[in-house]
Amino acid sequence: MSVKLIAVDMDSTFLKTDKSYNKPRFLKQYAELKQQGIHFVVASGNPLYTLQQYFPEIGHEIAFVAENGSHVMHQQEEINFSRFDPILLQQIISDLHADFADCMVLCAKDRGYIGAELAESSLSKLNIYFKKLQRVAQLSDVQADVCKLTLNTTPSTEPQALKLLATKSYVQQKQVDLVSSGFGFIDLILPNQHKAFGLSFLQQLWQVEDHEMLTIGDNYNDMAMVKQAGYGFAMANAVPELKQIARYQTGSNDQEGVLDVIDWVLSNEKSWESWQQDHLTMASI
Contact 33, 240 (CB under 8 A): no
Structure confidence at residue 284 as a pLDDT band (50, 70, 90): very low
Q: How far apart, in whole angstroms, are the C-alpha atoms of residue 36 and residue 220? A: 31
Structure confidence at residue 277 as a pLDDT band (50, 70, 90): confident
Q: State the pTM of this model.
A: 0.94
Burial class (CB within 10 angstroms; exposed 0-12, middle 13-18, buried 19+) of 46: buried
> Mean pLDDT over all residues of the chain?
95
- Which tens digit of pLDDT belongs to each residue from 239-255? 999 999 999 999 999 99
pLDDT at 98 over 80: yes
Instruction: Express as a percent the part of the chain with pLDDT over 90.
Output: 91
Q: How far apart, in whole angstroms, are the C-alpha atoms of residue 197 and residue 147? A: 14
| CATH 3.30.1240.10 is the classification of domain 86-189 | yes
Q: How far apart, in whole angstroms, are the C-alpha atoms of residue 222 and residue 234? A: 9
Q: Which helix (H) or strand (E) holds 24?
A: helix 23-35
* Cα 129 to chain centroid, rounded: 11
Angstrom CA distances, 236 to 33, 117, 242, 246, stand at: 24, 38, 10, 11
pLDDT at 182 over 90: no
Domain ranges of the chain: 5-81+193-284, 86-189
CATH code given to domain 5-81+193-284: 3.40.50.1000
> Residues 205-231: what's their mean pLDDT?
97
Structure confidence at residue 285 as a pLDDT band (50, 70, 90): very low
Catalytic annotation, residues? 9
**Closest alpha carbon to 258 in 25, 69, 63:** 25
Q: How far apart, in whole angstroms, are the C-alpha atoms of residue 206 and residue 229? A: 15
Residue 173: its pLDDT value, please? 97
Residue 283: its pLDDT value, please? 53
- Which tens digit of pLDDT belongs to each residue from 66-92? 999 999 999 989 999 999 999 999 999
**The domains spanning 5-81+193-284 and 86-189 adopt the same CATH topology:** no
pLDDT at 270 over 90: no
